[in-house]
Amino acid sequence: MLQVIQGGERSVSQNVLASSAAVAVQAGRRRTFAVISHPDAGKSTMTEALALHARVIGQAGAVHGKGDRRGTVSDWMAMEQQRGISVTSAALQFSYRDAVINLLDTPGHADFSEDTYRVLTAVDSAVMLLDAAKGLEPQTLKLFEVCRQRSIPVLTFINKWDRPGHDALALLDEIEQRIGLKPTPLTWPVGIAGNFHGVIDRRTGVFTRMQRSPGGADLAYEEEIDAEEAAEMYGAEWDTAIEELDLLAMTGADHDQDTFLAATSTPVLFGAAVANLGVRQLLDLLVELAPPPSARPTVAGPDQPVDGAFSGFVFKVQANMNRAHRDQVAFMRICSGRFERGMVVTHAGTGRPFTTKYAQQIFGQGRDTIDEAFPGDVVGLVNATALGIGDTLYTTVPVQYPALPSFPPEHFAVVRTSDTSAFKRFRRGIEQLDAEGVVQVLRSDQRGEQAPVLAAVGPMQFEVATYRLDAEFGVRVQLDHLPYEVAARTDADGREILRTESNIEVMTRVRDDALLALFPNRWRMKSVAGRHADLRLDV
């Protein structure tokens, strides 16, 4: 009997090891990355182009012919399609070669930087798009700083090379001087910006001639041409490209995988996403160079290994993606172990069980039921009203991932509806927007429950909030903007102190019951703090 038990224990142990090895293999196939850029640099267009090259869509969604411009797959919200901008993040998963790609599209507008920051906590690398004519722009710099803080490896794609723009070497110099990353081009353009013929692969020396398809909605035409033929075809432009390649070689601008993974150098590629030029090269290099999921830091204890017991965290909550379903989806990044649909997991914050019966793979607005997933994957948990942004889920081994911080709001407005019959829908809509992090919702003792205060990083968040309240909940609202620009966290004692000050309000953030003191400007906050030594103010 003893031998049978021991044999059984060995069998269980072997099964665990086999399962762990299988998870490690699957994790090694994953490439989870975000596309980041300044608004209008072509981020959503690049997302579409990558999906097109992986042959998971038949045509790119951004067709620029007159009267035939369609919304991109990742821009699923009607407001995004109407205005041609991304105001919410989206997840796309597809296979390419032997890899599984998890591509997270992010809002480019600065007003939605909080949403972008949350997405960047869920990726292992990033693709930074630069407009060839504009170079590094303010929002690009801000997003890169987030990548730097999290040591996220960054690949750089210099976009819109089919239009007039800066000199290629000047753009490399700008990258190095302004963000401190050493640029290491892997492809090099033949032809100046606006007269793009193709790229030379610096590692192989192969020149690929490129030509956009009619309308740019299909894969670009590509042809490998030897150096002699290319020199004859392009003459001085070819000679210039070869001279620049020699200069790059002399300056040591060669790709180094270790410095790339350490986030101190950035591979650089050239192309035009809207014409699908250079996109295949980017997708190939993401598979070859971008890191797979790795052990992830926890609040306490050692990093969680990818082949450990299941765990993951929620980085985004979104409702009403499909108007027919009117459901709420929690986007969960799997950090370790194997996920199986229907498994019961534990909510780390409450210790309560959560059943993952309705688990889906998200592709923009589309969705399919998913039965299993692995580290690096993003799973949509449907009707997950018990889950919030930053929540950790696990199975057998307790784990807690770091909380996702909120950005300090700088814009405030009272929101009201004059339709008293719609108040229940109004309240439900406000609660939904707060749960998703579209805006922060504050409770003011002066105004009561019927007039909550919306707090935002940027004013466009108010536009999204009012649009969604109308479109999804059938409630028209009015906003009365408040004269505050700074919010600082305080405590109960601070609230009592500030009652004696004019033009200052203390409100409660509904999400976590934090007390926020609102000031008209930073000078006023510093002045008040200088008069009250015991006043706690955390910006």
Give the model confidence (pLDDT) of 421-474 as tens digits: 999 999 999 998 998 888 999 999 888 888 999 999 888 889 989 998 998 889
Cβ neighbour number for residue 84 with a 10 Å cutoff: 13
Q: Which of 439, 436, 434, 435 is nearest to 407 (CA)?
A: 439
- Binding-site entries for GTP: 105-109
pLDDT, tens only, 210-247: 998 776 667 889 999 999 999 999 999 999 999 999 99
**pLDDT of 152 strictly over 70:** yes
pLDDT, tens only, 355-379: 998 888 876 566 788 899 999 999 9
Dihedral sign computed on CA atoms, order 21, 27, 28, 29: positive
Q: Which CATH architecture has domain 411-531?
A: 2-Layer Sandwich (3.30)
pLDDT, tens only, 327-359: 788 999 999 999 999 999 999 999 999 999 888
- The Cα 98–Cα 435 span in angstroms is 37
Residue 234 tokens, joined: 């392009």
- The Cα 431–Cα 328 span in angstroms is 12
Equal fold, 31-289 vs 311-394:
yes
**pLDDT of 534 strictly over 70:** yes
Query: Which pTM does this prediction carry?
Result: 0.82
- 23, 93 in Cβ contact below 8 A? no
Which of 68-72, 118-122, 311-315, 376-380 comes out lowest in average pLDDT? Answer: 68-72
**pLDDT of 253 strictly over 80:** yes
Cβ neighbour number for residue 463 with a 10 Å cutoff: 16
- 244, 168 in Cβ contact below 8 A? yes
**pLDDT of 86 strictly over 60:** no
Q: What's domain 31-289's superfamily in CATH?
A: P-loop containing nucleotide triphosphate hydrolases (3.40.50.300)
H or E, element range at 492: helix 492-498
The whole-number average pLDDT for the span 44-71 is: 60
State the amino acid at position 348 in one-letter form. A
**Bridge partner list, 398:** none
- The pairing of strands 328-336 and 378-382 is antiparallel
**Residue ranges per domain, the chain?**
31-289, 311-394, 411-531
- Binding-site entries: 105-109
CATH 3.40.30.10 is right for the domain spanning 311-394:
no
Per-residue confidence (pLDDT) for residue 486, from 0 to 100: 95
